[in-house]
């Protein structure tokens, strides 16, 4: 029996992704050995330095070669590695059900979320999922097993769009819900009050999370390509507005550009990774470019 949500894991997309880890810029903590450095010291393969022996230290940690040279006891310190805990937060509000190029923002975002979770678990890290509209609908805490990935895919397969968006309320709630610091990845069209959205993002940073934002928009939302006088319907409120796109286009594009720039500037100012994504862009291109960018910054 085919797993609900497995359609969001496209082998063709996964095959084209570069073979590199999704590196976290900040130090992260975890319970098991993984790819990411932890601020705690312990036993590992990466030597850091020596410190003086203190009563109670494990004799196995003494560097006997140094003792032979200096006739003093020194303990070897190693840098522990820990699994990254990442939570992917997907906007499933009604506005995400829009798409002019054969794919809705929700479908695109679901594929992006599934691909990110697959990559994280495949590299021995932990992935979790949260979905929201006006409230949080699903919250699956990060885990690292393949069976956990199936739970995430099942949740994605049961998602439906609606009702209206409340990005800031959902993010504030999740910032208080996610206990262990790690990586938080927000996938949303962010069609909400910009100041409130940025304030909720700062809540994640206050909790010491490494925040990544994928701002997902359809080409038609950015370009307003329509030519004829039309009734435009607000997907979330149902309100109709008669607009002549040709006369309004330049004003509309200016406002959309300002909207995106305000979000970008607000994120950059607080060291949040902001990525404006068009649904016309191949997901493997988006992820590949971003992973290379993260890898460079993590060095």
Strand (E) or helix (H) holding 31: none
DSSP structure string for 106-139: HHHHHHHHHHHHHHHHHTT-EEEEEEESSSEEEE
Distances in Å between the alpha carbon of 209 and those of 31, 106, 130, 167, 183? 17, 25, 15, 17, 6
Q: Which residues pair with 87 in a beta bridge?
A: 128, 184
Superfamily of domain 6-26+83-298: von Willebrand factor, type A domain (3.40.50.410)
Confidence of residue 234 (pLDDT cuts 50, 70, 90): low
Q: Dump pLDDT digits (tens) for 29-70.
A: 443 445 566 655 554 555 556 778 777 777 877 888 888 888
Q: What are the structural domain ranges in the chain?
A: 6-26+83-298, 36-82
The alpha-helical segments, DSSP class H, found in the chain are 11-16, 64-70, 105-122, 146-157, 167-177, 194-206, 219-223, 245-269, 283-298
Q: Dump pLDDT digits (tens) for 12-25.
A: 888 887 665 676 55
Residue 162 falls in which region: left (phi positive, over 0), alpha (psi -120 to 50) or beta: left
Q: Dump pLDDT digits (tens) for 157-170.
A: 999 888 888 999 99
pTM, to two decimals: 0.81
Q: Dump pLDDT digits (tens) for 142-198.
A: 998 889 999 999 999 999 888 888 999 999 999 999 988 899 999 999 999 999 999
Q: Dump pLDDT digits (tens) for 95-118.
A: 999 998 789 999 999 999 999 999
């Amino acid at each position: 029996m085919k797993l609900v949500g497995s359609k969001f894991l496209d082998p063709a997309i996964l095959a084209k992704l570069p073979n590199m880890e999704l590196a976290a810029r900040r130090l992260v903590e975890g319970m098991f050995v993984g790819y990411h450095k932890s601020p705690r010291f312990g036993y590992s393969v990466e030597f850091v330095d020596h410190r003086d022996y203190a009563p109670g230290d494990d004799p196995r940690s003494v560097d006997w070669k140094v003792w032979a040279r200096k006739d003093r006891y020194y303990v070897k310190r190693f840098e522990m590695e820990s699994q990254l805990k990442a939570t992917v937060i997907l906007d499933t509000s009604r506005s995400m059900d829009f798409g002019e190029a054969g794919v809705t923002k929700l479908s695109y975002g679901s594929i992006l979320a599934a691909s990110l979770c697959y990559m994280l678990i495949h590299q021995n890290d932990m992935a979790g999922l949260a979905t929201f509209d006006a409230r949080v609908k699903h919250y699956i805490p990060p885990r690292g097993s393949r069976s956990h990935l199936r739970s995430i895919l099942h949740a994605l397969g049961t998602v439906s769009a609606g009702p209206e968006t409340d990005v800031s309320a959902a993010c504030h709630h999740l910032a208080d819900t996610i206990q262990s610091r790690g990586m938080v990845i927000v996938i949303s069209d962010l069609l909400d009050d910009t100041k409130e959205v940025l304030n909720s993002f700062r809540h994640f940073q206050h909790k010491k999370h490494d925040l990544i934002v994928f701002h997902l928009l359809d080409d038609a939302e950015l370009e307003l390509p329509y030519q004829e006088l039309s009734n435009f319907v607000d997907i979330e409120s149902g309100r109709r507005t008669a607009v002549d796109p040709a006369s309004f286009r330049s004003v509309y594009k200016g406002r959309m550009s300002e909207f995106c720039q305000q979000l970008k500037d607000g994120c950059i100012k607080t060291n949040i990774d902001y990525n404006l994504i068009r649904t016309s862009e191949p997901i493997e291109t988006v992820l590949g470019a971003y992973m290379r960018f993260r890898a460079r910054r993590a060095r």
